[in-house]
């Protein structure tokens, strides 16, 4: 190759490396959740509902940045799988709640996530681990200017 050792000329760009890293990590997580018959977004919904059981589909979509058109079929799939149910909040709003099956699946998903995250962090040299999450947050949720 004419002495050129690196065919990926983009790998010195932080944004590119971050995108590639995120893609690789999400693919790995998706593989680990597949035996539980869960997609990553469905897992995120189960985690949210385990913390708070009175969320509407609109609230879940807003937090997870899922468009309404995608939210409806996802919740339908989860409902058909027996993971969630809808419970009236008031005259118009419906809460999305975990069922017993959903609660059990959430526990399995939580264990899978914990193992995945521990392995992920173990790949980072120990001297950099305490910087890792603050660096990601700085990119994702930049501080408001003073």
Residue 142 has pLDDT above 70, yes or no: yes
Specify the pLDDT at position 90: 81
Confidence band, pLDDT 50/70/90 cuts, at residue 92 = confident
Average pLDDT over residues 62-89: 94
Question: In this structure, how many other beta carbons lie within 10 angstroms of the beta carbon of residue 67?
Answer: 8
Residue 1 has pLDDT above 50, yes or no: no
Average pLDDT over residues 104-109: 98
* Tokens encoding 120: 């992920």
Confidence band, pLDDT 50/70/90 cuts, at residue 4 = low
CA terminus-to-terminus distance, the chain? 50
| Helix pair angle (100-122, 40-51), 10° resolution | 110
Specify the pLDDT at position 132: 93
What is the per-residue pLDDT across 107-138, written as a single tens digit (0 to 9) for each?
Answer: 999 999 999 999 999 999 999 999 999 999 89
Taken in order of first residue, the domains within the chain and their CATH numbers are: 14-117 (1.10.10.10)
- The half-sphere exposure of 102 on its side-chain side, counting CA atoms within 13 A, is 26
* Tokens encoding 114: 């914990």
Tell me what the pLDDT averaged over the chain comes to: 91
Q: What is the dihedral of CA 138, 68, 98, 107, to 10 degrees?
A: -40
pTM of the complete model: 0.85
Task: Let me know: does 87 contact 94? Beta carbons within 8 Å.
Answer: yes
What is the per-residue pLDDT across 68-79, written as a single tens digit (0 to 9) for each?
Answer: 899 999 999 999
């Amino acid at each position: 190759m004419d002495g050129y050792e690196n065919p990926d000329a983009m790998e010195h760009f932080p944004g590119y490396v971050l995108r590639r890293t995120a893609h690789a990590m999400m693919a790995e997580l998706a593989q680990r959740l597949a035996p539980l018959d869960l997609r990553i977004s469905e897992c995120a919904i189960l985690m949210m509902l385990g913390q708070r059981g009175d969320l509407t589909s609109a609230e879940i979509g807003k937090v997870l940045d899922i468009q309404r058109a995608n939210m409806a079929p996802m919740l339908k799939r989860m409902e058909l799988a027996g993971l969630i149910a809808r419970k009236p909040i008031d005259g118009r709003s419906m809460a999305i709640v975990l069922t017993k099956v959903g609660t059990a699946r959430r526990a399995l998903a939580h264990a899978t996530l914990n193992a995945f995250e521990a392995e992920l962090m173990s790949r980072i040299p120990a001297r950099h681990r305490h910087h890792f999450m603050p660096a990601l947050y700085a990119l994702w949720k930049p501080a408001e200017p003073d």
